[in-house]
Every structure is written in structure tokens, then in C-alpha cells.
Amino acid sequence: MKNMKNTMNTMDTIIRKVIFTVLFLSISTITMAGNKMLKVKTSAICDMCKNRIELVVNNLDGVKKSLLNLDSGIIKIKYNTDKLSETDIRVAISDAGYDADDMPADPKAYSVLPGCCKKGSSCDSKH
């Protein structure tokens, strides 16, 4: 009788562990669903470019966070794919006057950028 009780307790423990593991994995999958990391090569030159691009991207509904590395010109964006597409992000960067991968900057937006933010300028990144 005692062995049967021990076996039942062991099975009970195993079942609880399996249920806990399944619940944990389900919750992890739900919270990760729809989230993606995107890297976009931009034409950013200086801190003003960085601030402008990050502001535009961070204001998009669905963006969790972004960080632009001026040395590489690459912005890393964590976003929710249920609310936003990669194209939406690239269009927003282009609409701000900057290249976004193969998508060129919107000409009107580019024309009103400060001179130091335009291609070929010698910006000192201290703006």
C-alpha cells in the first residue's frame, strides 16, 4: 500500500511538472508572438540624423524600441509584426528624408534636412 502511495505521489509530481512546463512554454510563446527584430541600413550621418530617425521610428505604433548606430548607420528595431510591417518602417524612415536599405529618401523630406544631414556632408556629429 505504501509503495502504491509513493508511486501515486511520484506520478502526481511528474504530471505537475509537465503541466507547469507546458504552461510556461505557452505563455512564453504568446508573449513572443508577433515580436521581431529588424535591422535597417540608413543614410544617417550625425546625432541630429540619429535623433530624427529614432524619434520617427519610436513613434510608430507597434515599435517597442530602436537604436541607431551612427558608425554603421544601422538602426535596430524591435517591433510587433501584428501592428507593423518591415515596409512600414522603411517608408517612415524614407519619409523622414533618409535612405532605408534599398528604399531611397523621399526627395521632398530630404530637401529640407539640415545641410550637415545630407549625403557627402562633413558633419562632426556634435549637434
- Reported as a single tens digit per residue, the pLDDT across 2-38 is 565 566 667 777 777 777 666 666 565 555 557 899 9
Number of structural domains in the chain: 2
Let me know whether 57 and 99 are in one domain: yes
Let me know whether 108 and 49 are in one domain: yes
Residue 53 and residue 59 in contact, taking contact as beta carbons nearer than 8 Å: no
Find, among 92, 106, 1, 96, the residue nearest to 48 by Cα. 96
Let me know whether 8 and 62 are in one domain: no
Give the domain CATH number at 46: 3.30.70.100
Residue 91 falls inside a structural domain: yes
Q: Could you list the residue range(s) of the whole structural domain that residue 95 is in?
A: 35-114
pTM of whole model > 0.95?
A: no
Reading the block at residue 123, the C-alpha cell is: 558633419
The per-residue pLDDT for 119 is: 84
DSSP bridge pairs for 89: none
- Reported as a single tens digit per residue, the pLDDT across 46-94 is 999 999 999 999 999 999 999 999 999 999 999 999 999 999 999 999 9
Let me know whether 27 and 75 are in one domain: no
Reading the block at residue 11, the C-alpha cell is: 506520478
Let me know whether 39 and 49 are in one domain: yes
